[in-house]
Chains A and B, each alone.
Chain A
Amino acid sequence: MIIHHPILGPRDAQEFVYLGDANLIDRPDGMTAGVEVFHEYLYQRTNPAGEHQELWYHEQGDRSWLVITRNTVTHEITKVELARDVARSRGRSK
């Protein structure tokens, strides 16, 4: 696969490490959320046959974490964003 890195342009997928569902961005606050909420967060994931947002890490590159929108059936990649930007847009800060 080829991943169009928002900073570095097209890069081979071999340079990246895959993590999984980008919903991991929405980590609950451990001081307020309990075991149930964290359990949902960590384990309850959808596994769509189709478009999926995923976290990838450019380990053999610039160490950016990316959010990649990929069709799990066709492997078509429709969007690549810096995870930091996505995280901020979802309201994450410090």
Chain B
Amino acid sequence: MTQSNRITGGQIDRTKTLRFTFDGIPYQGHPGDTLASALLANGVKLMGRSFKYHRPRGPISAGSEEPNALVELRSGGRQEPNTRATVAELFDGLTANSQNRWPSLRFDAMGINDKLSTFFAAGFYYKTFMWPKSFWEKLYEPIIRRAAGLGSVTREEDPDNYDKGFLHCDLLVIGAGPTGLMAALTAGRAGKRVILADEDFRMGGRLNAETYAVGDLQGADWAAGVVAELSSMPNLRLMTRTTVVGAFDHGIYSAVERVSDHLATPTDGKPRQILWRIYSGKAILAGGATERPVAFENNDRPGIMMAGALRAYANRWGVKVGERVAVFTNNDDGLRTALDLQAIGVDVVAVIDSREGGDLLPGIRHLQGAEVIDTAGNLGLKSISVRQANGRSETFAVDALGVSGGWNPNVNIHSHHRSRPVYDPAIAAFIPGKDGPPGLLVAGAAAGQMSTHAALKTGRDAAIAACDLTNGPDLPQAEDAPVRITPLWHVAHGKGRAWIDQQNDVTVKDIKLAKQENFTSVEHLKRYTTLGMATDQGKTSNVIGLAVMAELTGRSIPETGTTIYRPPYTPVAMGTLAGRSRGREFKPFRLTPSHHWAKEQGAIFVEVGNWLRTQWVPKAGETEWRQSVDREVLATRKSVGICDVTTLGKIDIQGTDAGAFLDRVYANTFSTLAVGKCRYGLMLREDGIVFDDGTTARMSPSEYVMTTTTANAVTVFRHLEYCRQVLWPDMDVQLISTTEAWAQFSAAGPNARNLLAKIVDQDISDAAFPYMGAGNITVGGLRARLFRISFSGELAYEIAVPTRYGDALLREMLAKGAEFDPIVYGTEALGVMRIEKGHVAGGELNGQSTALNMGLGKMVSKKKDSIGMVLSQREGMTAENGYRLVGVKPVDPQAKLTAGSHFLEKGAAAVAANDGGWLTSKVYSPHLGCDIALGYLKAGDTKIGQRMRIVNLLAGLDTEVEIISPHMFDPEGERLRG
């Protein structure tokens, strides 16, 4: 097809032809076209089906406010639903498809909804699909979703990259129409750092769509000249295809730059889109205005669009939307469309002007006091019915109708801090109210200044005010026509449907229904009818919707009010918000020093916070994880096992008050700890709940080394800084996190000392390095630290070397200690051994448990003040029948336990009232030959030796267990002192 509706003029490059397809049919367009302008140039007006009724729809606008012409672009991983054809820039090879129709756009089976519209009125699903309840998820919702929908998402991964960036400027100018260009010119010539952002791919705004002169140039040419000057300024950054989507605090704005949307694929190294965070000194909103429709019966047929859009397609894109055109208006701006179209030779059949009186347009049938009352044409407009001032009806055969109900200033960004727009009767529209974002000025049509002259003047003056200038450029001559409008929101006639919100299929009837059911507040109206929701956020529909509600309720428009706008101004793709935080880059791994060794062995890894730790290290022939874990536990307890414990938090604490400081932050005492010794420390929150635990060693009178759990390394450090700076600011104590400075390995088992003796340079006999000893040592001359501490209950040490030597240390230990058959164990074996010993970890340190719950109540010293000491004594937390940590073992050794299961007395019904507590951790103990568990049991300390049941209704578990001491293996601790 050969662009049958293309006429002369416009800002398209006719020397180049772009090929594209829509629903598989090939078409041609030119650089400068949007998908909508190119389709209209080819005589295609039908571009979609409506959301609920599946009514045939075409574009009503030429911009980002478009509610109807939503299409799917591209295919495969780049398939993009709900894209507005009116802003999709045409490129060679573009494939576009209509959506929400089956089997085809021209014949849509779901068009039956239109005939059943009675059932689909506002709130229909709230009322219709209430019963029975179980049908909702399985039946109603899937059907409704399929029938009433928009586009579909691809199941493939997006192959493109998205990025984020940061920009700083003295002045951000939002919108590059006459207002924004003049503002940028004023500030730019004064040397200010200016960012000028516009969502369009061509700057100039409405000047590109009009025939006005600015100075002695055509408006579009004046705009191009200003853009050229701005482009030459080093202090200016011009950003086309960039939508400012939100105003945030302290002059920060977010903007989406569509870097590559207009290309088939991004050029090498370029992202598809960038989410910019713009830090501005001041900002000017020069976002222009959006034309709104008038509601009348069957006003949604393809070919009916905003009068200003008809004009834009003709002037900017060289497209006549129809051969025989009418205009329906309540204001002077609609008359401009008629004149512009007439001037380029389009047959303007009639202008239906709802106002009485005033000058008649020359050479055009100008019906005053008339209204369009109905239209006809199934897949495209064929005729309109007009009721004239004298009451007579007349039908006009037309294939396009321009409608103008007035222009709404684009106040959106100004409302992002909850500023409510105020109604200005002079232009019958809402303008920005007070208390907008600090530092944001509004100018031009966005401020209700509708003429070109007013745009230029207020743009310049806003820049002068924002940048503290004394003057700006002289203003070029420009039209300064007043706004002449007599509001008309909907045509009262007949019983048919008159659309207000075409995207959500909200009609005047729905507003009436909302009123009838007392959803009269604008916020209720929106949620009850869905007016103003979805991708266009009611840019064309909100104001007429609330105006109709005002009429129905007899209130004024200011009394009725308006909903406020929130970010984003236009839809933002999820990929853009994610940026590079995608896949592995969303949460990068921290690798342990033994990672490479473990990978060579085929180890299985587990994510622990950001860390990737070895979970177990399978040996040849092991087919099931338990075989590996059991072997690791048995080998450790038999000879020696090594575990990478680098992930534990390590904090160096130094200063003359270090000991006193630790006494305050730990529940137990550390100032009395001898140099060269370690102690287990219990840290509480101020509310008395256990925060963290770990061992802390005293390396010198004024230096301690604290360890924290892996999970709390960051929060403990933050807490210590808080205590040091906020609570006790004069304590002489300094902190530094050394978690990543030291590689640390635990060596545990009867041969741990024998193995380490082959590695370290010092004497580590029991006499020289007793249980809970700590000290600086050397390993082959390399500085190192040694701690004789045990989590496994074995004779055990933790040895630390500077991180870069961690891998070498591990290999050295395995090589030099080969005679002891050392194994490396992972977090699973670690868990088995700590549970066998009754040591608390994640399941017990659950942020809800006290020291008393854990059986560690005596550790909380009352002889000194420490964080959480006082509140840990609260009545509810010291109850004698409170939860206590116990060990659990099934009576039947074959029975399996499940963590999270509950304690019940024998014979008690499995109901919450009989709940005795729960299992916090469970493992299989190869030493005891059965499952064992730790748990919190009410008054558990009095129940040791008793039998209870462990019940888990979800897992189908109900088994008899024996309550035992949590110290299930080597309770006397003989092994670790060996």
Give residues of chain B (711-728) contacting chain A, Cβ–Cβ below 8 Å: 714, 718, 721-722, 725-728
Known: A64-B725, A84-B725. A1 touches B249 (CB 8 A): yes
Residue of A nearest to B661 (CB): A94
* Contact present for B866 and A30 (CB under 8 Å): yes
Residues of A within 8 A of B721 (CB): 57, 63, 65
With A and B bound together, what is the CA distance between A39 and B873 in angstroms? 11
* Contact present for A38 and B870 (CB under 8 Å): yes
* Contact present for B250 and A34 (CB under 8 Å): no
Residues of A within 8 A of B864 (CB): 31
Q: How far is the CB of B395 from chain A (nearest CB, A)?
A: 57
Q: How far is the CB of A65 from chain B (nearest CB, A)?
A: 4
* Contact present for B718 and A57 (CB under 8 Å): yes
Q: Is A75 an interface residue when CB atoms closer than 8 A count as contact?
A: yes
Residues of B within 8 A of A75 (CB): 249-250
Residue of B nearest to A32 (CB): B865
Most central of B251, B729, B866 by chain A CB within 10 Å = B729
Q: A42-B686, A83-B726 are in contact. List 11 more A-B contacts (CB 8 A).
A: A2-B279, A25-B727, A28-B870, A30-B870, A38-B686, A57-B722, A65-B725, A65-B726, A83-B729, A87-B727, A88-B730
Residues of B within 8 A of A65 (CB): 721-722, 725-726
Q: Of the candidates B250, B279, B725, B870, which one forms a contact with A87 in the assembled complex, judged by CB atoms under 8 Å apart?
A: B725
* Contact present for B730 and A93 (CB under 8 Å): yes
Residues of A within 8 A of B249 (CB): 1-2, 13, 75
Q: How far is the CB of A75 from chain B (nearest CB, A)?
A: 4
With A and B bound together, what is the CA distance between A25 and B251 in angstroms? 31
* Contact present for A94 and B657 (CB under 8 Å): yes
Residue of B nearest to A42 (CB): B686
With A and B bound together, what is the CA distance between A27 and B729 in angstroms? 12
Residue of A nearest to B869 (CB): A30
With A and B bound together, what is the CA distance between A88 and B731 in angstroms? 11
Q: Is B596 an interface residue when CB atoms closer than 8 A count as contact?
A: no
| Residues on A facing B (Cβ under 8 Å) | 1-2, 13, 17, 19, 24-25, 27-31, 33-35, 38-39, 42, 55, 57, 59, 63-65, 74-77, 82-84, 87-88, 92-94
Top 4 closest A-B pairs, CB basis?
Answer: A30-B865, A93-B730, A2-B250, A84-B729
Residues of A within 8 A of B869 (CB): 30
* Contact present for A1 and B686 (CB under 8 Å): no
With A and B bound together, what is the CA distance between A55 and B675 in angstroms? 36
* Contact present for A31 and B873 (CB under 8 Å): no
With A and B bound together, what is the CA distance between A64 and B735 in angstroms? 12
Residues of B within 8 A of A87 (CB): 725-727, 729
With A and B bound together, what is the CA distance between A92 and B722 in angstroms? 13
With A and B bound together, what is the CA distance between A30 and B250 in angstroms? 41
With A and B bound together, what is the CA distance between A54 and B252 in angstroms? 22
Q: How far is the CB of A16 from chain B (nearest CB, A)?
A: 11
* Contact present for B730 and A35 (CB under 8 Å): no
With A and B bound together, what is the CA distance between A35 and B686 in angstroms? 11
* Contact present for A33 and B722 (CB under 8 Å): no
With A and B bound together, what is the CA distance between A19 and B249 in angstroms? 19
Q: Of the candidates B660, B714, B865, B871, which one forms a contact with A42 in the assembled complex, judged by CB atoms under 8 Å apart?
A: B871
5 example contacts (A-B, Cβ-Cβ < 8 A) are as follows A2-B249, A57-B722, A83-B726, A87-B725, A94-B660
Q: How far is the CB of A5 from chain B (nearest CB, A)?
A: 14
* Contact present for A29 and B865 (CB under 8 Å): yes
Q: Is B971 an interface residue when CB atoms closer than 8 A count as contact?
A: no
* Contact present for A59 and B718 (CB under 8 Å): yes
* Contact present for A83 and B725 (CB under 8 Å): yes
Give residues of chain B (840-898) contacting chain A, Cβ–Cβ below 8 Å: 864-866, 869-871, 873-874
Most central of B438, B657, B721 by chain A CB within 10 Å = B721
Most central of A34, A55, A65 by chain B CB within 10 Å = A65
Q: Is B687 an interface residue when CB atoms closer than 8 A count as contact?
A: yes
* Contact present for A76 and B722 (CB under 8 Å): no
Give residues of chain B (803-844) contacting chain A, Cβ–Cβ below 8 Å: none
Residues of B within 8 A of A59 (CB): 714, 718
Residues of B within 8 A of A13 (CB): 249
With A and B bound together, what is the CA distance between A85 and B240 in angstroms? 48
* Contact present for A33 and B726 (CB under 8 Å): no
Total interface residues in chain B, CB < 8 Å: 31
Give residues of chain B (297-318) contacting chain A, Cβ–Cβ below 8 Å: none
Known: A17-B718, A31-B865, A42-B687. A94 touches B871 (CB 8 A): no
Residue of A nearest to B250 (CB): A2
Most central of B248, B657, B660, B870 by chain A CB within 10 Å = B870
Q: How far is the CB of A63 from chain B (nearest CB, A)?
A: 5
* Contact present for B725 and A92 (CB under 8 Å): no
Known: A1-B250, A30-B866, A65-B721. A93 touches B729 (CB 8 A): yes
With A and B bound together, what is the CA distance between A84 and B733 in angstroms? 13
Residues of A within 8 A of B727 (CB): 25, 27, 87, 92
Residues of B within 8 A of A63 (CB): 721
With A and B bound together, what is the CA distance between A25 and B728 in angstroms? 9
With A and B bound together, what is the CA distance between A68 and B311 in angstroms? 54
The digit string for B147-187, where 1 denotes a CB below 8 A from any CB of A, is: 00000000000000000000000000000000000000000
With A and B bound together, what is the CA distance between A35 and B392 in angstroms? 86
With A and B bound together, what is the CA distance between A34 and B871 in angstroms? 8
* Contact present for A94 and B731 (CB under 8 Å): yes
Residues of B within 8 A of A55 (CB): 722, 726
* Contact present for A38 and B871 (CB under 8 Å): yes
* Contact present for B726 and A35 (CB under 8 Å): no
With A and B bound together, what is the CA distance between A62 and B869 in angstroms? 30
With A and B bound together, what is the CA distance between A35 and B687 in angstroms? 10
Q: How far is the CB of B94 from chain A (nearest CB, A)?
A: 38
Q: Of the candidates B657, B730, B870, which one forms a contact with A34 in the assembled complex, judged by CB atoms under 8 Å apart?
A: B870
Give residues of chain B (276-297) contacting chain A, Cβ–Cβ below 8 Å: 279
Q: How far is the CB of A27 from chain B (nearest CB, A)?
A: 5
With A and B bound together, what is the CA distance between A57 and B864 in angstroms? 28
With A and B bound together, what is the CA distance between A42 and B729 in angstroms? 19
Residues of A within 8 A of B729 (CB): 83-84, 87-88, 92-93
Q: How far is the CB of B528 from chain A (nearest CB, A)?
A: 30
Q: How far is the CB of A50 from chain B (nearest CB, A)?
A: 14
Residues of B within 8 A of A30 (CB): 865-866, 869-870
Residues of A within 8 A of B438 (CB): 74, 76
Known: A1-B249, A30-B865, A65-B721. A39 touches B871 (CB 8 A): yes
With A and B bound together, what is the CA distance between A18 and B675 in angstroms? 37
Known: A2-B252, A57-B721, A76-B438. A94 touches B870 (CB 8 A): no
The digit string for B678-702, where 1 denotes a CB below 8 A from any CB of A, is: 0000000011000000000000000
Give residues of chain B (238-265) contacting chain A, Cβ–Cβ below 8 Å: 248-252
Residues of A within 8 A of B731 (CB): 94
Residue of A nearest to B686 (CB): A42
Residues of A within 8 A of B722 (CB): 19, 55, 57, 65
* Contact present for B873 and A35 (CB under 8 Å): yes
Residues of A within 8 A of B657 (CB): 94
With A and B bound together, what is the CA distance between A2 and B438 in angstroms? 13
With A and B bound together, what is the CA distance between A42 and B874 in angstroms? 13
Q: How far is the CB of B658 from chain A (nearest CB, A)?
A: 13
Residue of A nearest to B875 (CB): A35
Residues of B within 8 A of A57 (CB): 718, 721-722
Q: How far is the CB of B49 from chain A (nearest CB, A)?
A: 43
Residues of B within 8 A of A76 (CB): 438
With A and B bound together, what is the CA distance between A25 and B721 in angstroms? 13
With A and B bound together, what is the CA distance between A93 and B660 in angstroms? 13
Residues of A within 8 A of B718 (CB): 17, 57, 59
Residue of B nearest to A63 (CB): B721
Q: How far is the CB of B293 from chain A (nearest CB, A)?
A: 37
Residue of A nearest to B863 (CB): A31
Residues of A within 8 A of B714 (CB): 59
Q: How far is the CB of A39 from chain B (nearest CB, A)?
A: 7
* Contact present for B870 and A93 (CB under 8 Å): no
With A and B bound together, what is the CA distance between A87 and B730 in angstroms? 10
